[in-house]
């Protein structure tokens, strides 16, 4: 966790500097890979979403409902089926 909480300063094309934690950058890369169609990254993102949803269920008001759970479960099922 110490390593993941370290900050990194990045400079964009216009010279603006922004600070991110290594964890934030890793999550961004993972989400970008999922968005580009990487099956394993997509499954991991959905898994992380479920864990976060379960954690927040007891501590915060719900943001996702049962319909959302059904959609996520269907996507995970379809992504884990052997492709043929």
Distance in angstroms between the alpha carbons of the first and the last residue of the chain: 40
pLDDT tens digits along 24-56: 999 999 999 999 999 999 999 999 998 888 877
Low-confidence winner among 12-16, 57-61, 69-73 (lowest mean pLDDT)? 57-61
Q: Residue 77 and residue 25: Cα distance in Å, rounded?
A: 28
Over range 56-64, report the average pLDDT: 67
Is residue 57's pLDDT more than 80?
no
Tell the residue number behind the tokens 């927040």, with chain if given: 56
Q: What pTM value is reported for the model?
A: 0.59
| Count of Cβ atoms closer than 10 Å to residue 17 Cβ | 8
């Amino acid at each position: 966790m110490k390593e993941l909480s370290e900050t990194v300063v990045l400079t964009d094309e216009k010279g603006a500097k922004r600070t991110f934690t290594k964890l934030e950058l890793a999550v961004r890369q993972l989400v970008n890979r999922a968005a580009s169609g990487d099956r394993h990254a997509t499954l991991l993102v959905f898994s992380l979403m479920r864990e976060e949803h379960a954690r927040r269920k007891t501590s915060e008001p719900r943001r996702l409902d049962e319909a959302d759970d059904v959609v996520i479960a269907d996507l995970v099922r379809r992504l884990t089926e052997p492709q043929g």
